[in-house]
Each structure stands twice: as C-alpha cells, then as structure tokens.
Amino acid sequence: MSNTDGRVVLGNRANVLRSIEACPVFTVRTGTVKGSQKKVVNRGRWSKEEDAELKSLVEEVEGLSRTGHIDWSKVASHFPDRNDVQCQQRWCKVLNPSLIKGPWTLAVSKKLVLSD
C-alpha cells in the first residue's frame, strides 16, 4: 500500500510489530546447491570475543596469502552463526587497523573545500 506521495504505508504499530515477529529466521545456504544444510545467521551485535577471533583469523589469513586476497567464506566457517558478508563488512568497516576514525584533519578539510 502506498501513499499519494509515493511513500509506503506499513499500517499501525501493532500490525508492524506482528509482521516483524512473524518473520522467519534469516538463513544462508551452505554447501552445494543440492545440499540442504542451512546456517542460521546472527543479525545482532558482534561480541568482543567474536571481534577478537575475527581479528586473529584475518591476520593469520593475510600472513599466509601471497595475493592479499582473503577468502571470507573460509573465515566465516570459524563462526557458527556469521556469514562471509558479515565477516567482510565487520573487518572492512569496523576492525581494520588501517581505518582512520575520528574527526577530519585540517588538511583533509581544506582538500574537500578546495575540490569544489
């Protein structure tokens, strides 16, 4: 159902909550196409232990890799309820030590302003 301005109208709060509760658990197939194994995926927060394990695995895999490529499905196989995309995203956007977090430096700010 959509509104006159094109926005989707979900209904009242009770209906939305009921539909969320009725959603099946998100699953990801593992194995072959014919295989019926399914991996239940945790879509919640990462624990400190999971972060530490992911850091350790990535550092180990990077040290062994000649090409610098990380096989995220192999990394995810060490986590019973995380998939390859979750592992890759967690590493690339949160845990990677080469990420620069915090406020922009004055030099970067000047580059952005001058690039217009």
pLDDT digits (tens, 9 = 90+) for 14-73: 544 444 444 433 334 444 444 556 778 889 999 999 999 999 999 988 877 777 789 999
- Give the CA distances from residue 59 to residues 9, 13, 46, 52, 54, in Å, rounded to whole numbers and listed in that order: 46, 45, 18, 11, 8
Specify the range with the lowest mean pLDDT, choosing from 1-5, 67-71, 75-79, 96-100. 1-5
Residue 17 belongs to domain spanning: 13-95
Helices (H), the chain: 13-22, 48-64, 72-76, 84-90, 106-114
Distance CA 100, CA 82 (A): 25
1 lies in some domain: no
Q: How do residues 82-105 score in pLDDT, each as one tens digit? A: 999 999 999 999 999 999 888 988
Contact 53, 61 (CB under 8 A): no
60 lies in some domain: yes
Tokens found for residue 19: 């539909």
79 lies in some domain: yes
pLDDT, position 116? 64
